[in-house]
Amino acid sequence: MYDNNEIESRYQMFVYKTKYFGEFAANEDDKQIVIETKTNITGIEQEISIIMDIENIIDVKDYCIKILDDYKKIYEKGKMALETENKEKGSLVTYLQKIHKRYGEEMFSKLSGMKWITKRNITEIINKMDAPDIRIEIKGGKVKVNLVYEISKEVEEMIGVRMDKRYKVEKIKYYE
């Protein structure tokens, strides 16, 4: 058995400061870091989750901080990707129409502020979405940045946008 002093000396705790999310602490041997925090990136303070799946925080801390400090840029790229994909494939309109049908006009109007979904008002709907949660995966030298947009706290549906280390969108997935 270890006493508390031995345990404390075996694991070194580090505190990191980020541009948008303040400080967070991690042990040198942490493989996953989960942070519940707030941001006002959209102009309204909102709660978001940050999850970092990493092999070793010491080796990738600077890169993780850079990604978190680029959150506003990543957030904007995610919104642009949703708009672009919708223009090309109509995927977001189709997805939102399913939600509209499932929950009804009153609930959808409450969620989006809109009664109807059209290609014209899709940008407005995207801009009204809450700031996304972010998941950073760094394993085997590969970096993945995932944004998860909740449609609302009141429904389970969400949209995932996966990016590479240069924030190039690789995939958009609609969860029902």
Q: Highest mean pLDDT: which of 70-74, 111-115, 147-151?
A: 70-74
> What helix, strand, coil percent values describe the chain, rounded to 5?
40, 35, 30
119: pLDDT strictly greater than 80: no
Q: How confident is the model at residue 169 (pLDDT cuts 50, 70, 90)?
A: very high
User: What mean pLDDT do residues 78-100 have?
Assistant: 89
**Cα end-to-end span (Å), the chain:** 48
Task: Return mean pLDDT, the chain.
Answer: 85
Please, is 13 exposed, middle or buried when counting C-beta atoms within 10 Å of its C-beta (0-12, 13-18, 19+)? exposed
User: What mean pLDDT do residues 136-161 have?
Assistant: 88
Three-state secondary-structure class, residue 89: helix
User: What mean pLDDT do residues 127-147 have?
Assistant: 90
Higher-confidence residue of 157 and 120: namely 157
- What are the boundaries of each domain within the chain? 12-175
User: What mean pLDDT do residues 152-161 have?
Assistant: 85
60: pLDDT strictly greater than 50: yes
Instruction: Give the separation between CA 61 and CA 34, rounded to whole angstroms.
Output: 14
pLDDT at 132: 93
Q: How confident is the model at residue 9 (pLDDT cuts 50, 70, 90)?
A: very low
